[in-house]
Amino acid sequence: MAKAEVVIVLSLLLVTTVVDGLGGRMRINDVKNNKEVQELGRFSVEEYNRRSQGRLRFSLANGGPSTALVFSQVVGAEKQVVAGIKYYLKIKAMQGGVTKTFESVVLVKPWVQSKDLLNFSPSTH
């Protein structure tokens, strides 16, 4: 009877460990040489600029500075399996001649060939 209880407890621990790994974020190594990650970073910046285009025109028309970003590189990345793959990127980009760090979240659904920028904001770290 004691052996059966030990086996059940060990089985439950194994299942809990495996389930905890599902859906969690996983760090992506060597992001500087990862073409897919770098392309997602470029996509993030271009999509941010596209969505901000109305604000850019208003700023320039009123003599304000251009706030368009120029992609430099992704410097950190994690991914999470959801209904697709969610990428959490830390991106370096130039804005007005100054290098700044931004964070973006991109959802990729390869089976329907879609990418969606879910969030793009200045980095808090």
pLDDT tops 60 at residue 103:
yes
Q: From the CB of residue 37, how many other CB atoms can be counted at a distance below 10 Å?
A: 21
- Which residues, 6+ apart, have CB-to-CB distance to 105 below 8 Å? 86, 87, 88, 89, 117, 118, 119, 120
CATH fold of the domain at 26-58+69-122: Nuclear Transport Factor 2; Chain: A, (3.10.450)
Question: Does an H or E element contain 96, and which?
Answer: none
Say what the pLDDT of residue 125 is.
75
Inter-axis angle of helices 53-61 and 35-51, nearest 10: 50
Delimit the domains of the chain by residue range: 26-58+69-122
pLDDT tops 60 at residue 64:
no
The verdict on pTM exceeding 0.85 is no
